[in-house]
Amino acid sequence: MQTIKAAVCHEFGKPLVVEEVQLRAPEMGEVEVTLDAVAICHSDISFADGAWGGSLPAVYGHEAAGRVTHVGPGVSGIGEGDAVVVTLIRSCGSCPSCSEGKPVICSTPYDGDKGPLTTAEGGKLHQAMACGAFAEKVVVDQSQVVKISDDIPMEAASLIACGVITGVGSVVNAAQIRAGQDVVVIGAGGVGLNAIQGARIAGARRIVAVDMSEEKLEIAKEFGATDGVLATDKKPYVKAMRAMGRGADAVIVTVGAIPAYDEAPRYLAPGGKVIMVGMPHSGAKSSYEPVVLAAIGQGMQGSKMGDTVIKRDIPWMVDMYQQGRLKLDELISGRWDLDQINEAITDTKTGSAKRNVILFNR
């Protein structure tokens, strides 16, 4: 066991506590990664606020990058010193979902209470989302990491682990947008901006961003949106359709707001579909008219983590970044130390930040 610093959640809705914890060595099929950067995702904040329940005390954080410092037995293709992206996508490789090429919905359960972390006194400490990356180091399954080139900045690489693959993947993998089609993205935050980038990369004709902030709509245009519509306007879907000249082939909902889900089908063209990405709190419900969807062949489809296959998609996204075709540096709003994590979370909650990143070696 080794002692590291981590930001621990002891009580939902309360500030995280940066303290010393214990991390065991990697076991069969696992790797230890010393982190350089971890980004703060709204999912981490929702978990820490108790939106979806879970075991406490816990270490959150799942959007990270660093270098492999130790490998367990049975690990192949990854060695000490390798630069890697660390994701929450832990896949067994053999369940029905994994066998069908859908590792993000792997059906093999993982118990974070029995993971590599313990408190300083040796008590239970939950490794949330199979990562626990609000810490100096992590021990994760080899299926969760992807080797990357040394010349991509770690702070940029960390963003790929969740926000980028979720946003880009929702358009490219889930919606399967083709060149010339039209896309509406509801929510111009971190994931929404990446959905907009995905639509641009896929060759969408019109990309309409919908948000409650004029400032964020202007930022969305920097990432590829052709038009912006204020969600607070009366019947914003009418303005979006005017911008496109028709309904959308896909509406990507990147926020967990029920009003956004209620209105999303109104933006659709016949045959279009809503891609459901944003996660409302447990128990929240949306409503829509199924007869409309049935009558004109529309659909609603959930998309977890952009339906990503990380060993296929992350190297492609790194290459797109290196070509200058995928914006990552521009997504970073602030850089913080681990001791400042509560301030970074507060800043993220304002809604003005694209992505705040915790850096461990600055």
Contact 159, 324 (CB under 8 A): no
DSSP 124: B
Residue written as token pair 């995928």: 326
Looking at residue 8, what is its pLDDT? Answer: 98
Q: What's the whole-model pTM score? A: 0.94
In angstroms, the Cα distances linking 208 to 247, 284, 300 are 11, 26, 19
Higher pLDDT, 354 or 220: 220
Domain boundaries, the chain: 2-147+328-359, 167-303
Confidence of residue 39 (pLDDT cuts 50, 70, 90): very high
Confidence of residue 354 (pLDDT cuts 50, 70, 90): confident
Dig out the tokens for 242 from the structure.
């005017």
Reply yes or no on whether the pLDDT at 57 is more than 90: yes
Helix ranges (DSSP H) in 165-205: 165-169, 190-202
Confidence of residue 336 (pLDDT cuts 50, 70, 90): very high
Which three-class secondary structure state does DSSP give residue 101?
coil
Looking at residue 352, what is its pLDDT? Answer: 76
Rounded mean pLDDT, 331-344 = 96
Rounded mean pLDDT, 105-119 = 96
- Of all residues in the chain, what percent carry a pLDDT higher than 70? 100
CATH number of 2-147+328-359: 3.90.180.10
Contact 291, 147 (CB under 8 A): no
- Of all residues in the chain, what percent carry a pLDDT higher than 90? 95
Contact 198, 169 (CB under 8 A): yes
Instruction: Report the alpha-carbon distance of residue 103 to residue 72 in Å, rounded.
Output: 22
* Fold classified for 167-303: Rossmann fold (3.40.50)
Reply yes or no on whether the pLDDT at 298 is more than 80: yes
Confidence of residue 362 (pLDDT cuts 50, 70, 90): confident
Calculate the average pLDDT of the chain.
Answer: 96
Instruction: Report the alpha-carbon distance of residue 52 to residue 2 in Å, rounded.
Output: 30
Q: What is the pLDDT of residues 311-330, one digit of tens each?
A: 999 999 999 999 999 999 99
Which three-class secondary structure state does DSSP give residue 140?
strand
Looking at residue 353, what is its pLDDT? Answer: 78
Contact 21, 119 (CB under 8 A): yes
Instruction: Report the alpha-carbon distance of residue 311 to residue 269 in Å, rounded.
Output: 34
CA 299 to chain CA mean position, Å: 23
Q: What is the pLDDT of residues 154-213, one digit of tens each?
A: 999 999 999 999 999 999 999 999 999 999 999 999 999 999 999 999 999 999 999 999
Q: What is the pLDDT of residues 271-283, one digit of tens each?
A: 999 999 999 988 9
